[in-house]
Amino acid sequence: MRNPFLALLLALSPTLSIAQIPATPSGLTTVRSKADSTVTISFKENEICAGEKGYSGYVHLPRSSLEDVGGYDINTFFLYLEARHNPATAPLVIYLAGGPGESTSYAAFDGELGGIHCRVAPHIH
């Protein structure tokens, strides 16, 4: 090969590809839907906002429960932050954003109509 950079890139590509696979998460709690036992929610407590209770995870909708969306599984990410004041009686607010090319988290934290304003935990950089 004439281009040494390209040769190096091709030689390292298997290693770089493997490095992109995330580790299997640990400490997850998984619950099944009472309406459809194939639908699950996997989540864990997070510390994104200092001093506030929060959870993040995925809602897993298998292709068998979604006949009209193209025959593939859907794993939808969620971030739940408990209300700062009176969480037991506070209304639940669901903020949906994102889509192809934009993360929901970016929209929520960036202030684009999102309501998440938190003090970042000191150990998260």
- Look at residue 35 and tell me if it is in a domain: yes
Residue 30 counted as domain residue: yes
- What is the pLDDT at residue 125? 47
| pLDDT of 42 | 94
The answer as to whether 75 is a domain residue is: yes
Residue 79 host element (H or E): strand 74-81
Higher-pLDDT residue of 70 and 79 is 79
Parent domain of 95: 24-110
- Does a structural domain hold residue 17? no
Greatest mean pLDDT among 5-9, 26-30, 80-84 lies in: 26-30
State the average pLDDT over residues 96-107.
Answer: 65
- Mean pLDDT, residues 60-80 taken together: 82
For residue 68, is it within any domain?
yes
Helices and strands per DSSP (H, E), number in the chain: 2, 4
Residue 125 resides in a domain: no
Q: Nearest to residue 112, comparing CAs of 101, 90, 122, 97?
A: 97
Question: 70: alpha, beta or left, given left = phi > 0 and alpha = psi -120 to 50?
Answer: left
Residue 88 lies in a domain: yes
- Domain assignment of residue 85, yes or no: yes
Mean confidence (pLDDT) of the chain = 75
What is the rounded CA–CA span in Å between residue 28 and residue 121?
A: 21
Helices (H), 1-125: 4-19, 104-110
Number of domains in the chain: 1
Give one word for 120, left, alpha or beta, with left for phi > 0 and alpha for psi -120 to 50.
beta
Amino acid residing at 102: E
The CA R_g of the chain, rounded to the nearest whole Å, is 20
For residue 63, give both structure tokens: 């292709």
pTM above 0.85, yes or no: no
Residue 70: pLDDT band by 50, 70, 90 thresholds? confident
